[in-house]
Amino acid sequence: MATQQRTIDYLIQQATAAGTVSAKPMFGEYGVYVDGKMIGSVCDDQLYVKPTASGRVQAEPVSEAPPYPGAKPQLLIEADRWADAEWLSELLRVTAGELPTRRPRKPKRRT
């Protein structure tokens, strides 16, 4: 079951206080970004957040599951918890704060 666009729209709407929240299509599902950092994904209408120390504390109680077969386990944030926009925004904000900044890509060499 693929993620529905309305799920992505709702998630982004609920998490606006986290910063610049966006979702980009990836491999038939979506990557979730806060201020340009990938903090998780939405697969089969379920939110998975990369595990960080602050994120675990904010999300308690929380279970972990891989978003797709072969993936590393991530924090599985149940959909009923998304209704608390302040809580969800804080979770995404603290997670993004602990993740490293993306290194710029090296320009391709022209031959």
Q: Which domains does the chain have, with CATH numbers?
A: 5-98 (3.30.1460.30)
Is the previous residue joined to 107 through a cis bond, with omega within 30 degrees of 0?
Answer: no
Contact by Cβ (8 Å): 39, 33: yes
Provide the pLDDT for residue 9. 96
* Cα torsion angle, 51, 28, 10, 68, sign: negative
Residues contacting 28, CB < 8 A, separation 6+: 2
**pLDDT confidence of residue 59:** 95
Q: How far is CA 95 from CA 25, 42, 49, 106, in A?
A: 20, 15, 8, 26
Q: Is the pTM of this model over 0.85?
A: yes
Strands (E), 1-111: 21-26, 29-34, 37-43, 46-49, 63-65, 74-77
**pLDDT of the chain, 111 residues: tens digit per residue:** 689 999 999 999 999 999 999 999 988 899 999 999 999 999 999 999 999 999 999 999 999 999 989 999 999 999 999 999 999 999 999 999 999 887 777 888 876
Instruction: Report d(CA 69, CA 1) in Å as an integer.
Output: 14
Copy the structure tokens of residue 106: 């090296």
CA atoms of 19 and 2, how far apart (whole Å)? 26
